[in-house]
Amino acid sequence: MKVVKLEDIKGTDRAVDGGNWISYRLLTKDDKMGYSVNETIIRAGTETHIHYKNHLEAVYCIEGHAEVETLSDGKVHTIKANTLYALDEHDEHLLRGIEDARMVCVFNPPLSGREVHDENGVYPVDED
């Protein structure tokens, strides 16, 4: 069994600051669960272009306020506490922090833990 405390992740290499967000990598590929879990804070007043070509992601908002705009159709989705969105079709999107928003993110395949978005909003595929 694994027990991971957020307080033990902060200040380690599992705390990844992407500028518009900070992500605490609670479970990674090395944990051998078949998926990864992050707690991510989306910072207020930011907009991040994201296109997970290599991953599927489900995001559950715990607190705060964000918007997700899907670029294929221009729809804007309001994300607040107790809302989940799933990028089940590798949806290219813009993620906007309206307020600081605290999210729990699950990725398949799992993240190695050090990923940041490239210039196209993509996390690289882990070849291992």
Structure tokens at 32: 């051998």
Strands 47-50, 56-63: pairing is unpaired
- Residues 28 and 109: beta-carbon distance below 8 Å: no
pLDDT in tens, 67-121: 999 999 999 999 999 999 999 999 999 999 999 999 999 999 998 866 665 566 5
Rg (CA), the chain: 14
Is 57 exposed, middle or buried, given 0-12, 13-18 or 19+ CB atoms closer than 10 A? buried
pLDDT in tens, 23-65: 999 999 999 999 999 999 999 999 999 988 888 999 999 999 9
CATH number, domain 28-108: 2.60.120.10
Cα–Cα dist 9/39, whole Å: 10
Helix, coil or strand: residue 77: strand
Strand partners, 107: 36, 57
Cα–Cα dist 85/106, whole Å: 11
Q: For position 52, what pLDDT does the model report?
A: 86
